Amino acid sequence: MSFPTAPVPVIEPGAESFVARDRHGHPLSRRRVIAALLALSLGGFGIGSTEFVAMGLLPELAIDLLPGIHAQNPDLAIAQGGGLITAYALGVVVGAPVIAAFAARLPRRTLLLWLAAAFTLATLASAMLPTFETVMAARFVAALPHGAYFGVAALVAADLMGPGKRGQGVALVLSGLTIATVIGVPVITWVGQSAGWRPAYLLVAGLFAATFVAVRLLVPWQPGDASSTIRSELSALARPQVWLALGVGAIGFGGFFAMYTYIAPMVTELVGLSASLVPVILITTGIAMTIGNLIGGRLADRGTVRAIFQGFAALIGSLLLLGLAGGTVVGLFVATFLVGLSAAAVSPIIQTRLMDVAGRSQTLAAALNHASLNLGNASGAFLGGLVVAAGFGYQAPAWVGLVLAVGGVLLAIASVTLERRQSLR
């Protein structure tokens, strides 16, 4: 998926001599900066785990929470179980702008601690509540801090990294999320398959508790935006370019989630492999996402517009490959790797683009990126579930994803066209 007192760093003379400083103006050692970045990434690791683990445990969630439906129609139960993923995504969409607008004046570290505490409590509730409806409500609440955490953490990282490295700072925070897909999600999926999905979510709650401690001890104090008001933050929403950038993320990134939501039944039902291999494909996809995220951060620092088209060209090609060859074991593994690589590259690019076009509303822009991506999560999971429930099979979500990715490209073209016309004026 943020509360500056100074503009977001841009490339400027003397950037190579930048040194991060604490609240008293004392320079921070390289070791302290790295430790702070790791603490911020730990929160991303927890968020990636809580967001994506439901995808690996979707069959187990459907069996436990929708037993009657599963006994009659397992595919329908799994499709309805995708509602847990949709609920989380919608929570991000609601929480990101609300928290960003109302909490911009808080010191950054203080806000991060409140958000980590909220994550911990809501994830505990997700693990303990008894019914599908109450767990869905808990997943919605657990998602509310998602966008604000990534937003403020991205801007803290940008300040720590210094001028000219904004995209890389964003990517470093997001690396916690992508590394979660390599380590956290497969391990927690294995725990869920072995001991039940509830212990798996208790493990995720432990990650958020560890994040609270790490942020408190390692992240330097940074002030909020003392001049921020709700009106000044929401002023970004008056900019057409902001809406276009949000649309690129919401629609285009939905292409990834249409596939990723149903990755577990793709492995077991589509190509007929054992459920024990689901963590393996999650690991390979997570490795791809980790690599793609770092590539995307560097591409964003070289120019966000060109980077957006490069990222979406790769995403469209990989989804096409999944639709054509995903019915084979080799095709499924190769295609999901490439989809993860290209989709993860798009995320920091869109984040940086939003920060470019949002003016002074950097808090809201940084948080809204994750709202838009999770709107893509919700739409991708929902539309993918529709084609599965309609009987088109588990390869059909790849074609849904392809259509959504093309929609993202069309919005990016509209954004560039509008920008050029404004420049000519």
Per-residue pLDDT at 2 = 35
Question: Residues 6 or more apart from 73 whose CB is under 8 A from it?
Answer: none
Output phi, psi for 21, to 5 deg.
-130, 155
Residue 16: other Cβ atoms inside 10 A? 8
Q: What is the pLDDT of residue 123?
A: 93
Query: 215-233 pLDDT, tens per residue?
Result: 999 888 777 666 666 676 6
For residue range 164-191, what is the model confidence (pLDDT) as tens digits? Answer: 666 676 777 777 877 887 788 888 888 8
Q: Which of 101-105, 118-122, 153-157, 309-313 holds the top average pLDDT? A: 118-122
Q: Which of 400, 395, 65 is nearest to 262 (CA)?
A: 395
Contact residues for 122 (Cβ-Cβ < 8 A; gap 6+):
138, 141, 142, 144
Q: What are phi and psi of 326, to 5 degrees?
A: -70, -10
Fold of 28-218+227-424: Growth Hormone; Chain: A; (1.20.1250)
Q: Is the pLDDT of residue 1 over 50?
A: no
Quick: pLDDT tens for 378-387: 788 788 888 8
Euclidean distance between CA atoms 125 and 3, whole angstroms: 29
At 21, is the secondary structure helix, strand, or coil?
strand
Mean pLDDT of the chain: 81
- How much is the pLDDT for 11? 36
pLDDT for 122 beyond 60: yes
pLDDT at 362: 67
Predicted TM-score (pTM) of the model is 0.70
Residue 281, pLDDT above cutoff 70: yes
Q: What pLDDT sits at residue 12?
A: 39
Does pLDDT of 6 surpass 60? no
